[in-house]
Structure 1
Amino acid sequence: MRRIGAADTEVIDPSPRRRRRVSRATRVGDKPRWYFPGALAVGVAGVAVPVLLLFWLTGQPRPVACALTGTALWLAVQAGQRRFDSRLIGESRSVLATVQDWLILLGLLALARTATGEHSDPIVALLALLPALVVTAAYRMTVHVHLQASRRAAYAVRRVLVVGEPGAADAVVGHLASRTDHAYVVVGVVPVGDAANGSGAPEAARLGAVPPGAPRWDADAVLGAAVEHAAELVLVVPGPLLSGARLRSLAWSVHESGLPMAVLPGVTEVAQRRMRLSVAAGLAVLHIAPPLRRGAQVALKSALDRIGAAVGLAALAPLFAVLAVAIRTGSTGPVFHRQQRLGRDGEPFTMWKFRTMVVDAEARKAELAAVNEHEGPLFKMRKDPRVTRVGSLLRRTSLDELPQLINVLRGEMSLVGPRPPLPEEAERYDEVEARRLAVKPGMTGLWQVSGRSDLSWDETVALDLQYVENWSLTYDVDVMARTVKAVVDGRGAY
């Protein structure tokens, strides 16, 4: 891996007559070299070894041929789905994508079985293929975690040159700098117009407010800046001073030089699956599908919530009894704490939790307002004196949240969703923050799996809005899987 300070790009001569292309390797980014061979090795071992071993132990016909066929098809499915693409590998946890690939593999093997007349035991074959699903999903999650950790240390990133009017460019630079879950690091800005550059990034060049008479002037300035800062991508923020023919001319020159170029559409927190690009009369049109608010997925989510809550309450009844005894032994007062919260569309409901504080905690909240450690309307203290000894343990392990299964069973909450706010918190919401109330609140969500109380209020709102706008059943499954790690880790739980 290479840190962002190193430069190994080929020189780009910005003159119109002499331009050398940037090497392909630098456009891809510097991810660890072991990602790809590791993926191949896991793909082979995940199918070949268990199929060969289990078929041989159970006396199935042609174990070697079956192992080779299964391995070849498994690698072909992943290659067809671009799982080995160096630009994509590690960019997501890919658990659900792995399940999708595995189901495609089963379908292809079923067709091959019918076509060849192969008659091995289907149950044995299915068991032999299960390790491919497990080890591949585990490897992809490991790669994703490693890549995210690398990017927090400024490795495996792409050097980006931002071009745009200062106000818009400043916002883009700030947004990219505020998060590390992406591949872009801004190494320079090319402001358009006369306004001051307030982004904090180096001003690599400047384009005039009026397009120059010679179409090469814009390109020469941008490409010269790209050479000086070893940029691997030109990221353009379009606006009144940089649109239409001027943007098209710049794109032609940048692409001819061998540098990739991207244009920001100006929308944020929209999942890729909701976007579709089309062309009308030569104009690029970005279609954004509305968020899911009704339909089969919403009905299925509600049904799964209630079924999951009912099963959870039945299975956890013995644990509830043990916790009830511990709470009553540790301090005086009721076992459960009931508190009014706001649900979907601001509808009030009574939320259930195991009591973790002294009985007069609400009355004492006002006297602690001056030492609130959380910005925004949310009240949090790392060492809240109202929390009991047993309550501290319950909060650290998130066991205090389990009674909310009652709210899920009653349809007031969901298993996954934004944190349910107190009425006094919601009274202080602006229009953006109030958008969190567009869906049912959840027992767990992006806030809980991303750091909980360690997050700032702005980060909390951003995560909740990301969920509200982009939720799906597969999104919920991903959050539930990440919840297990968050509970074990305990970060931000106080």
Structure 2
Amino acid sequence: MASDVLSFLLADAIVTLGYHNVSVLSNPANIVVALTVPLAASIALAVTHAWDPRILGCGVEEFRRVGYAYVLVIAVMAVLGYAAGMTGGHSWVFGALPLAAALSVLGRYALRRWVHRRRRSGAYLRSVVVAGELDSVLELIRRTRGAAYAGWEIEAVCLADLAPGRRLPLAIEDVPVVGTERDVVGIVALHGYDAVAIVPSSQWSPQRTQQLAWDLEGTGADLLIAPAMMDIVGPRLHISPVASMPLLQLSAPRFTGPAWIAKTVMDRVLAIALLVAAAPILFAIGCAVRLTSPGPALYKQMRVGRGGIQFGMLKFRSMVRDADKRLADLTRANEGAGVLFKIRDDPRVTRVGRFLRRFSLDELPQLVNVVSGQMSLVGPRPPLASEVEQYDDGVRRRLFVKPGLTGLWQVSGRSDLSWEESVRMDLRYVENWSMALDFMILWKTAGAVIRADGAY
């Protein structure tokens, strides 16, 4: 809150005293507008729940709400100013507020990075006891360990009741098993855990879940219930009460409408701008490829795009000219995950190609594919036709959107990901797409490219 308040106060001061001069305050109307901007911004952030502790420091929902708050306040103040016939407040409405939005986002991002670093070192963690069946518990433990920034520390496990004659394991992934689901309340009361997470289990009936919620009252522990579909988050999920029963409503993903049009426009405008800005680099890379190995500078490979339509994806050639013919000889050395073919030290890669791959420079020609509408700046990894032939119905959902120049897979490890993790990342993007998620991925891509994590 302090960061946001400082942001719009600073933006207001810059416009009032920097863009104008002190004499502008001689007009009472200007004073009203200058004082209204911080107040209106505060109200908008409060109305959109941008200060809700549950969304702070994790996911894109926080930035989506901040963006919505500033769009709302700019629109409202612009309409009110027009209705009141005020012509002197444009610099505050269309100058101070957008500047305040940018400062708010940067401030929150800096705070988020700081909190994430502290959480990775063991601070600001929420102690959790998880209850449910073994497979679901194991999945949650592995996911939370791979996302330390979320602030969860699963300290104990209560498993579902076992059949007669079977014994509980001592631990799951080094997390001690302290009892069964029937022991949850007593264990929380004894050890003072911050939260109880219930994962899918056949033994958690609505009555038992309600009773657990009542029994936890007064312990200070929150009750978290994980739905069966754990990769659907954000605006697609709603709680819809029916006959006093809360139901989790899952809206169908939408790949049409104003937001999708805005994504398409953003893709092409940014791709054109990047092509123009990077023209000297593209020329230099092309010359380096041609001068260091025989063959063309560009390589076109058929990939599968949205709806299963094939297109020619462009790349700078990073391998020797007859690389495709030598593929069969390297099948046994495949280190790729699932249907992917990858070799960390592929002998077909040229010296220049290895450098290009390390920093993803070989992907730059795909900006042409983005401009032509075959690809998007952000999306799932563009697959080969041979890979698509091995897809099941779930993985085919990747083809609901255009493939991307970058994506969640790019900022989460690239070639170091397992096949299952790669699929999960792409499907998570398809299921939860939003403009805020696109901006977050584009922001993180720069760091992933510089670090060269998983690039080979």
TM-score, normalising length: structure 2:
0.86
Provide the C-alpha distance between the structure 2 equivalents of 1:129 and 1:241, rounded to a whole number of angstroms. 52
Which residue of structure 2 lines up, in the alignment, with residue 140 of structure 1? 108
Q: How far did residue 414 of structure 1 move?
A: 2.3
Q: How far did residue 318 of structure 1 move?
A: 4.5
Q: How far did residue 337 of structure 1 move?
A: 0.8
Q: How far did residue 357 of structure 1 move?
A: 1.6
CA contact (8 A) 2:15 2:91 kept: no
Supply the AA of the counterpart residue of 1:152: R
Distance 1:116 1:339, change over 3 A: closer
Q: Deviations over 1:185-222 (max 9, x none)?
A: 21112223115457342222224xxxxxxxxxx4xx32
Which residue of structure 1 lines up, in the alignment, with residue 10 of structure 2? 45
Which residue of structure 2 lines up, in the alignment, with residue 463 of structure 1? 425
Could you tell which deviates more after superposition, 82-91 or 452-461?
Answer: 82-91
Provide the C-alpha distance between the structure 2 equivalents of 1:325 and 1:260, rounded to a whole number of angstroms. 61
In the TM superposition, 1:426-465 aligns within 5 A as: 426-465=388-427
Which residue of structure 1 lines up, in the alignment, with residue 38 of structure 2? 71
Which residue of structure 2 lines up, in the alignment, with residue 237 of structure 1? 199
Q: Deviations over 1:243-285 (max 9, x none)?
A: 0322222221112444321222211211221111122233321
Which residue of structure 1 lines up, in the alignment, with residue 150 of structure 2? 182
Residue 170, structure 1, aligned to residue 135, structure 2: no
Could you tell which deviates more after superposition, 455-464 or 269-278?
Answer: 455-464
Residue 199, structure 1, aligned to residue 172, structure 2: yes
Q: Which runs of 5+ in 1 are unaligned?
A: 1-35, 208-217
In the TM superposition, 1:75-474 aligns within 5 A as: 75-92=42-59, 94-110=62-78, 113=81, 120=88, 122-123=90-91, 126-194=94-162, 196-197=168-169, 199-200=172-173, 201-207=175-181, 218=182, 221-298=183-260, 301-302=263-264, 304-306=266-268, 308-309=270-271, 312-313=274-275, 316-474=278-436
Q: How far did residue 393 of structure 1 move?
A: 3.0
CA contact (8 A) 1:92 1:144 kept: no
- SS of structure 1 residue aligned to 2:150: coil
Supply the AA of the counterpart residue of 1:445: G
Supply the AA of the counterpart residue of 2:176: P
Provide the C-alpha distance between the structure 1 equivalents of 2:354 and 2:454, rounded to a whole number of angstroms. 12
Provide the C-alpha distance between the structure 1 equivalents of 2:206 and 2:87, rounded to a whole number of angstroms. 63
Supply the AA of the counterpart residue of 1:199: I
Distance 1:279 1:76, change over 3 A: closer
Distance 1:373 1:222, change over 3 A: same
CA contact (8 A) 2:234 2:432 kept: no
Q: How far did residue 354 of structure 1 move?
A: 1.0
Which residue of structure 2 lines up, in the alignment, with residue 10 of structure 1? none
Supply the AA of the counterpart residue of 1:54: Y
The percent of aligned pairs where both chains have the same amino acid is 35
Distance 1:453 1:71, change over 3 A: same
Could you tell which deviates more after superposition, 43-52 or 70-79?
Answer: 43-52
CA contact (8 A) 1:54 1:124 kept: no
- SS of structure 1 residue aligned to 2:383: coil
Provide the C-alpha distance between the structure 1 equivalents of 2:185 and 2:322, rounded to a whole number of angstroms. 66
Supply the AA of the counterpart residue of 1:403: P
- SS of structure 2 residue aligned to 1:163: strand
Distance 1:136 1:238, change over 3 A: same
Provide the C-alpha distance between the structure 1 equivalents of 2:95 and 2:435, rounded to a whole number of angstroms. 26
